[in-house]
Amino acid sequence: MSGARILLIEDTPSQAELALAQLRALGHEVRHAATGREALAIAESWRPEVALVDLGLPDMKGFEVMERLDGPAMVVVTAQGSVATAVEAMKRGAGDFIVKPWKRERLHATIESELEKRRLRVELRAAKEALNPSRFGPFIGASAAMQAVYRTIQAVAASKASVFVTGESGTGKELAAEALHGASPRAKGPFVALNCGAIPKDLLEAEIFGVVKGAFTGAGESRDGAAQRADGGTLFLDEIGEMPAEAQVKLLRFIQTGVAQPVGGGEGRRLDVRFVAATNRDIQAEVAEGRFREDLFWRLYVVPVELPPLRERGADAVLLARHFLAVFAKEEGKGFRRLAPEAEAVIQANPWPGNVRQLQNVIRNAVVLHEGETLEAAMLPAALLRGAVPAPAEPRPAATVPPVTMIEAAPPPIEPLAAMEKRAILRALEETGQDVAAAARLLEVNPSTIYRKLQAWKGQAT
Amino acid sequence: MESFDPGVIAALREDLLADALRGILRTFEADLARLLGELVAAAQAGRRDAYLHAAHAIAGAAGAVGLTGLEGLARIAMDPDQPEGPAAIVPRILAEGRAGLAALVREIG
């Protein structure tokens, strides 16, 4: 192996000159830094494969430079050949240790050996990453549950099949849609996301299909909807369960014919759109209840992708927390570089009812409120340390928010006990993001009771 | 006694072109003058870290060009448990430095 990028960190000019001449004679590309700061700057931009580090630098200790270098194999070169120095060098991450003066053969053998070790490390990391990627598009997570998600997204990306994403609030349903779009041949086309729950029901059709001038009061100009804007790309319909019945009919027709009809009539336009829908509701229960059209459901539910809650993603919580820490520290101009092991243990142990969004909020909060290089457990919210953080307030779908009224409401009409029971169970499931165990706790029943009831209702529906 | 290892220079001659070797020798000469100055100043001022740093640099630089006598004395100076204090060892280092450099110039030209 030859022609490696080598960073020589040496402050004595004659030593540097000699090493440069020898390394270049061995065929390597070499850059020289006479101070620790200079070395870190070169390493940042040039990404050397091997760093030869002299321990006695004028501005900082060689060991300190080694701790801050990220990536190269490190070889300590020093006139101090004591066992203690060698042990310390190895502890700080040096792959080898050369005592000055060195022979050219020794230098050559050491560099070749370090390059080989580095190559193997890089290959091993790449192989592990290929088998169990810790990142996929915008996702971060190496858990088995997320690997299954990545595999499904990858497998279905090339097709035009509709994808239906389910999962609790905060699990990243829109990210899944973006990942799918990004991995698809449509990646260069538009990705248009529309939250059906955030748009007033009577405006939803116009938002999706566009509007013809004069179609209704206020429609002063013709304009495209999300469907037209997504032509050649992906249309992501979030909170699809909130879509009113009339819009469902129109969407079904669009999916069947490929022609989007703007509100107010006019010429429909044939569009090439891939559909991704998502909901945190039990969409099959919505179909069974008659609130969501079954024919539309089957058109959209071609490939289901279920996003696991964070509590089922093992060590992903810590991976995500580290990522958020780096991002928010940069955004907020703070010096945080790492999570303390105790903080990681707390993060790992928490059930995260609000999922990734909650974790994101907790880390941002800690970054904003504290200073330092290490985010300690004590900087996390007290409730988290007690193992019970309330999930962040979620914007509830309009349909589930009871209307606020100043008039005392009339008592609800008497209804069959079975219907009340069903309503209570479905409400509890909705409240807990379809978490049967949590819903059972709210209802003070055994989870098996809920499973039994769900099974029975499914039987009635078929 | 001339504390110079001609084997080191012979090996460098094999590795490097004559001009490159002469260039390194000139740089070493400048380094040695500067480092000896730093060693003396640090010893006089009682700045222990600077003293050890200069001794460490002299040992490395001298060893690289085969000045084994100078390297050995510098290693004594950089040993925190050295029996000889700076007042005793620094004059010996200065003398050995001058002698070694003269030998090197004679050898390389």
ipTM computed for the complex: 0.88
- Min CA distance, A169 vs chain B (Å)? 59
pLDDT at A376: 93
Considering only the beta carbons, identify the residue of A12, A21, A101 that sits closest to B20: A21
pLDDT at A135 over 90: no
Q: Given an 8 Å threshold on Cβ–Cβ distance, is A11 in contact with B57? A: yes
Of B5, B98, B79, the residue nearest A103 (C-alpha)? B5
pLDDT score at A395: 41
Residues of B in contact with A52 (CB under 8 A): none
Per-residue model confidence (pLDDT) at position A226: 94
Burial A89-124 (b: 16+ CB within 10 A, else e): beebebbbbbbbbbebeebbebbeebbeebeeeeee
Confidence of residue A393 (pLDDT cuts 50, 70, 90): very low
Q: Which of A121-130, A298-307, A327-336, A346-355 has the lowest mean pLDDT?
A: A121-130
Whether A208 and A247 have beta carbons less than 8 Å apart is answered as yes
Asked if B11's CB is within 8 angstroms of A103's CB, the reply is yes
- Decide if B30 touches A, using CB distance below 8 A: yes
Say how far apart CA A244 and CA A256 lie, in whole Å: 18
Pick the residue of B14, B16, B34, B104 with the most A CBs within 10 A to test the interface with A by mutation. B16
CA distance A22 to chain B (A): 7
Q: Which residues of A touch B (CB under 8 A)?
A: 11-15, 17-18, 21-22, 25, 54, 56, 78-80, 100-101, 103-104
CB contact under 8 A, B64 and A14: yes
- For residue A382, what are its two tokens? 């007290």
Closest CA in chain A for residue B80: A80
Single-letter amino acid, residue A192 = V
Judged by DSSP in three states, A275 sits in strand
By three-state DSSP, how is residue A169 classified? coil
SS3 A261: coil
On chain A, the residues whose CB falls within 8 A of the CB of B27 are 13-14, 17
Higher pLDDT, B22 or A397: B22
Least Cα distance to A285 among A449, A432, A460 occurs for A460
Written as tens digits, the pLDDT of chain B (109 aa) is 457 888 888 888 888 888 888 999 999 999 999 999 999 999 999 999 899 989 999 999 999 999 999 999 999 998 877 777 888 999 999 999 999 999 888 887 6
Of A21, A56, A104, the CB nearest to B57: A56
- Min distance A21 CA to chain B CA atoms (Å): 7
Is A21 close to B8, i.e. CB distance below 8 A? Answer: no
What integer pLDDT is reported at residue A405 of this predicted model?
Answer: 29
Q: What is the pLDDT of residue A396?
A: 38
Banded model confidence at residue A403, pLDDT cuts 50, 70, 90:
very low
| Least trusted range by pLDDT, from A6-20, A303-317, A437-451, B28-42 | A437-451
CA distance A101 to chain B (A): 5
Q: What CA–CA distance (Å, rounded) separates A307 from A149? A: 7
Does A457 have pLDDT greater than 50?
yes
Spatial contact of A36 and A64, defined as CB atoms under 8 Å apart: yes
**Residue numbers in B near A76 (CB within 8 A):** none
Find tokens 């000019």 and name the residue: A13
Q: Which residues of B touch A54 (CB under 8 A)?
A: 60
Asked if B27 and A14 come within 8 Å (Cβ–Cβ), the reply is yes
Reported as a single tens digit per residue, the pLDDT across A318-371 is 999 999 999 999 999 998 989 999 999 999 999 999 999 999 999 999 999 999
Other Cβ atoms closer than 10 A to A275: 23
Of B53, B63, B64, the CB nearest to A56: B53
Q: Whole-model pTM? A: 0.53
> Å from A63 to nearest chain B CA?
15
More confident residue, A128 or A349: A349
Instruction: State the helix-helix crossing angle for A104-131 and A13-25, rounded to 10 degrees.
Output: 70
Q: Residue A105's pLDDT is what?
A: 87
The arithmetic mean of pLDDT across residues A35-50, rounded, is 92
B49 in A contact zone (CB under 8 Å): no
What are the tens digits of pLDDT across the range A233-289?
999 999 999 999 999 999 999 999 999 988 887 778 899 999 999 998 889 999 999
3-state SS of A310-339?
Answer: HHHCCCHHHHHHHHHHHHHHHHHCCCCCEE
pLDDT at A439 over 90: no
Higher pLDDT: A458 or A287? It is A287
Q: CB contact, 8 Å: B7 with chain A?
A: no
Q: Are A6 and A29 in contact (CB under 8 A)?
A: yes
pLDDT-based confidence at residue A217 (cuts at 50, 70, 90):
low
Q: Which residue blocks in A233-354 are alpha helix, DSSP H?
A: 245-257, 283-288, 294-300, 316-332, 341-349
Band of residue A397 on the pLDDT scale cut at 50, 70, 90: very low
| pLDDT of A398 | 35
Q: Which has the closest alpha carbon to A430: A307, A282, A277, A279? A: A282
Interface test with B, best of A9, A11, A18, A104 (most B CBs within 10 A): A18
What tens digit of pLDDT does each residue of A67-113 get?
888 889 999 998 877 788 888 888 888 999 898 888 888 899 999 99
Any chain A CB within 8 A of the CB of B59? yes
